[in-house]
Amino acid sequence: MRVLFRADASAAIGSGHVARCLTLAAILRASGAEVVFACRELPGNALARLAADGWPCLALPNAYPGEESALGIEAPLPWQADIEALERCLAVEPGFDWIVVDHYALDHRWQAAARRWGRRIAAIDDLNNRQHAVDILFDQNFTARDPEYAGRALTPCRQLLGPRYALIRDEFRRPAVPIKARAQRVLVNFGGLDGVGETWKAMQALVDFQDLQVDFVAGTANPRLAQLQAMAADRPSWRVQTFVKDFAELMAGADLFIGAGGGTSWERAALGLPTLCIAVAENQQANAERLAAAGAHVYLGTSQAVDVAQLKQAVGFVLGNVGLRRSLAERSRSLVDGLGARRFAVALLGASLDVRRVTPQDSPLLFDGRNHVAVRRASLNSAPIDWVSHQAWLAAKLQDRDCLLLVAEAADGPVGVLRYDRAAERAEVSLYLFAERMGLGWGRALLTRGERALREYWPQVTGIDARVLPDNPASIELFRNSGYVQSASRFERVVKDQVHD
């Protein structure tokens, strides 16, 4: 599978769009996909960093004819010029299975034009300022399901919405940050650029907390970097870093985080790291407020509204209240499990899922998969299956002309098993996933790909049935989201009492 990412980074835009695309791209590449980035050569761009990390890059111009550079990062780009620049870069490139665009300035017109290079389009969005013509619309924020966001998709598409899909790197999937009775370490980070100077504000607010170890992470493009370094120079418990190789490890060692309301919100939540949040951009406010309402962090307000004294007071209050810090940790961890990027990746990879008929050589694979405790728990027959019985069952099913037994495979290995049992013009479907594939959305991909195979083998089938245990909400949701209609419940009446000896 080939995937093209279209995202930009610059001094004005920041690095967040490219960073979250990289999180997704790393999982796709590890799963066997070929990934290419297309970015503009804007001041402060990410092209050199991407190339140094081994990502193939297409360099687009830093200026387009008719572009109003003074406008904000949400202002529309001359999309035709961007498409023409891509045309020149992609003249000798083969097509892509997916194009993923993460850009506030590109809308449905760009997406429709970009289909000449990609079979499918996915958009990463967290605003309501433009419309999309895509196959997948992704928004990890709490606000994604709000009514005012409902009209973003011009055509029906799959929508991955909310913190369940938060794009978090694997290194943030670790045990929760321990909540100590006495807080000792504070971590301050407002992104790689911090053009509004919040790191400097935090430094001033922390001056009187002399017992604290404080890490300030400020990129080389931070306009106040020299001031930050000078103020920290004579304080041995303070450290200013311009580059952190393992940010998750640094966060895991902190007792309090002071930062913005962007993508780092989800990393903090996954770790259960108590946070004081200040919104540094308008598009961060609504989500920061919603996270505060959910008890996941303390939101102080916008950068313009929060002064040094207010921040200092908030630091003292949170550090001195261990009960509050424990509550923040528990609530934030309940929202984000760290698997969001993998769920997004599965939504892309599932379109290329392969299915084939089961052979006798697959017997150990099916035996282990079917006997996994999670699979048995969701099965109509929850008892373990012994090897002899399994072998006999498989041999019978492979000979049964009314049974279609399939194994689904991705580029990095088997995903799950599908079985269709035919009766006249209808077929009943059952499926299970292998243990390492559970909870990521592969079930929907199995049903979609299995249905295509069913049509190929049994074109006469006009309907598919499924039986699901009533206490299996995950399977019920899977079939509902896959276009199945739930019928009335099955009832049974015993008309003869059991005979007792």
Name the burial class of residue 328, with classes exposed (0-12), middle (13-18) and buried (19+) by CB atoms within 10 angstroms of its CB. Answer: buried
Torsion of CA 276, 317, 175, 442, to 10 degrees: -40
* Pair of tokens at residue 395: 């041999």
Predicted confidence (pLDDT) per residue in 36-75, tens digit:
999 999 988 999 999 999 999 999 999 998 787 655 666 7
Predicted confidence (pLDDT) per residue in 426-465, tens digit:
999 999 999 999 999 999 999 999 999 999 999 999 999 9
Name the burial class of residue 397, with classes exposed (0-12), middle (13-18) and buried (19+) by CB atoms within 10 angstroms of its CB. Answer: middle
Predicted confidence (pLDDT) per residue in 254-281, tens digit:
999 999 998 899 999 999 999 999 999 8
Structural contact between residues 163 and 269, judged by C-beta atoms closer than 8 angstroms:
yes
For residue 475, what pLDDT band results from cuts at 50, 70 and 90?
confident
For residue 236, what pLDDT band results from cuts at 50, 70 and 90?
very high
Topology at the third CATH level for domain 174-335: Rossmann fold (3.40.50)
Domain boundaries, the chain: 2-168, 174-335, 353-481
* Pair of tokens at residue 163: 């913190």
- DSSP helix/strand/coil, 239: strand
- Give me the helices (H) in 353-487, please: 363-370, 373-377, 387-399, 442-457, 473-481
For residue 93, what pLDDT band results from cuts at 50, 70 and 90?
confident
Domain at 2-168: CATH architecture: 3-Layer(aba) Sandwich (3.40)
Collect all residues with Cβ–Cβ distance below 8 Å to 383 and sequence separation of at least 6. 376
Predicted confidence (pLDDT) per residue in 205-223, tens digit:
999 999 999 999 998 878 8
**Residues 67-74: contacts with CB within 8 Å, 24+ apart?**
73/12, 73/13, 73/104, 73/105, 74/104, 74/105, 74/127, 74/129, 74/283
Say whether pLDDT at 491 is over 60.
no
Topology at the third CATH level for domain 353-481: Aminopeptidase (3.40.630)
What is the pLDDT, as a whole number, of residue 423? 94
E strands of 192-281, at which residues? 213-217, 238-241, 256-259, 275-279
Please state, in angstroms and rounded to a whole number, the distance separating the CA atoms of residues 416 and 422. 20
Please state, in angstroms and rounded to a whole number, the distance separating the CA atoms of residues 189 and 132. 32
Predicted confidence (pLDDT) per residue in 371-385, tens digit:
999 999 888 788 899
What is the pLDDT, as a whole number, of residue 500? 47
The two domains 174-335 and 353-481 share their CATH topology (first three levels equal): no
The pairing of beta strand 275-279 with beta strand 256-259:
parallel
Taking all residues of the chain, what is their mean pLDDT, rounded to a whole number?
A: 92
372 is catalytic: no
Catalytic residue among 17, 103, 108, 132: 17
Collect all residues with Cβ–Cβ distance below 8 Å to 223 and sequence separation of at least 6. 194, 195, 197
Structural contact between residues 43 and 421, judged by C-beta atoms closer than 8 angstroms:
no
Binding-site annotation, residues for substrate:
169, 267
Structural contact between residues 320 and 421, judged by C-beta atoms closer than 8 angstroms:
no
What is the pLDDT, as a whole number, of residue 73? 66
Q: At what angle do helices 264-271 and 285-293 cross, to 10 degrees?
A: 20
The pairing of beta strand 185-189 with beta strand 256-259:
parallel
What is the pLDDT, as a whole number, of residue 481? 87
For residue 96, what pLDDT band results from cuts at 50, 70 and 90?
very high
Higher pLDDT, 74 or 292: 292
Predicted confidence (pLDDT) per residue in 395-436, tens digit:
999 999 999 999 999 999 999 999 999 999 999 999 999 999
Which phi and psi (to 5°) does residue 489 adopt? -65, 150
What is the pLDDT, as a whole number, of residue 259? 96
What percentage of the chain reaches a pLDDT higher than 90?
77
Please state, in angstroms and rounded to a whole number, the distance separating the CA atoms of residues 153 and 139. 12
Structural contact between residues 347 and 396, judged by C-beta atoms closer than 8 angstroms:
no
Average pLDDT over residues 111-135: 94
* Pair of tokens at residue 45: 């761009």
pTM above 0.85, yes or no: yes
- Cα distances from 493 to residues 212, 468, 487, 490, in angstroms, run 70, 20, 19, 10
Higher pLDDT, 231 or 490: 231
Predicted confidence (pLDDT) per residue in 104-120, tens digit:
999 999 999 999 999 99
Structural contact between residues 355 and 450, judged by C-beta atoms closer than 8 angstroms:
yes
Binding-site annotation, residues:
169, 267
Please state, in angstroms and rounded to a whole number, the distance separating the CA atoms of residues 448 and 483. 10
Torsion of CA 285, 287, 293, 298, to 10 degrees: -60
Average pLDDT over residues 239-264: 94
The end-to-end CA distance of the chain, in Å, is 65
- Cα distances from 13 to residues 8, 44, 71, 370, in angstroms, run 7, 9, 11, 49
- DSSP helix/strand/coil, 368: helix
Buried b or exposed e, range 229-266, using 16+ CB within 10 angstroms: eebbeeeeebebeeeeeebbebbbebbbbbbbbbbbbb
What is the pLDDT, as a whole number, of residue 350? 93
